Amino acid sequence: MHSWGVRVRLIAVSAVVVGVALALWSVRSKVVPSGLDGPLTTVEQVRNLPAHPSATIPVRLRGTLICVDDVFHKAFLQDSTGGIRIERATLDAQLSLGSVVEIMGTAAAGGATPVVMRDQVRVISRNSRLPEAIHASSDELFSGQLQYRWVEAEGVVRLAEMDHGGRVALTIRSGKHDVRFSVVHSSGISYGGLEIGRAHV
């Protein structure tokens, strides 16, 4: 079995992870907090909202961008409490991987957990260090707790292809599950030349 000589960092954003997480979280009762004095200021607070917030809830988050998608104007932001997807992130802002930003907007429906519909963005610093990657088991990935987080995992590569953003996408067998990953730093990597085998990602 082939062992890769390349180590890459990934983000847990696969459709498989999201789908399973939706099934797990649908049984949890979540309510919109009452009597808010101001915007929600942590990712955890936003993710703890109902999947479809029934009220307009302001959000003001500060964190590191661990993925920036200029094609669909999305970004993934991580703070000390978790990770979240930001919609309309790059419409009129020059954002880059590793930037520390402050996002102002509102919570909106976006799948198993809410996303942030961005109104304003302020870049605090550029090209900062990315968060330390979390070593994740397949069960942890499927729990949904690490959704939109900077992670690393190990498993057997079953499929390598290009995603909509031109990045290498890997389907990896880790533990009991097949998990799909997007490789953020995939420039110079030819997915056609990747062989099926074990990988540390």
More confident residue, 181 or 41: 41
| 18: enclosing H helix or E strand | helix 15-25
d(CA 21, CA 138) in angstroms, rounded, equals 13
Is it true that domain 39-125 has CATH number 2.40.50.140?
yes
Residue 117 has what pLDDT? Answer: 95
d(CA 140, CA 163) in angstroms, rounded, equals 24
Q: Residue 41: how many CB atoms within 10 A of its CB?
A: 15
pLDDT tens column, 82-99: 999 999 998 888 899 899
List where CATH 2.40.50.140 sits in the chain: 39-125
d(CA 113, CA 188) in angstroms, rounded, equals 34
In this model, does residue 115 exceed pLDDT 90? Answer: yes
pTM of the predicted model as reported, rounded to 2 decimal places: 0.73
In this model, does residue 108 exceed pLDDT 70? Answer: yes
Q: Is residue 35 helix, strand or coil?
A: coil
What share of the chain has pLDDT > 70, as a percent? 72
In this model, does residue 59 exceed pLDDT 60? Answer: yes
Tell me if 104 sits within 8 A of 39, measured CB to CB. Answer: yes
In this model, does residue 31 exceed pLDDT 80? Answer: no
| 138: enclosing H helix or E strand | helix 138-143
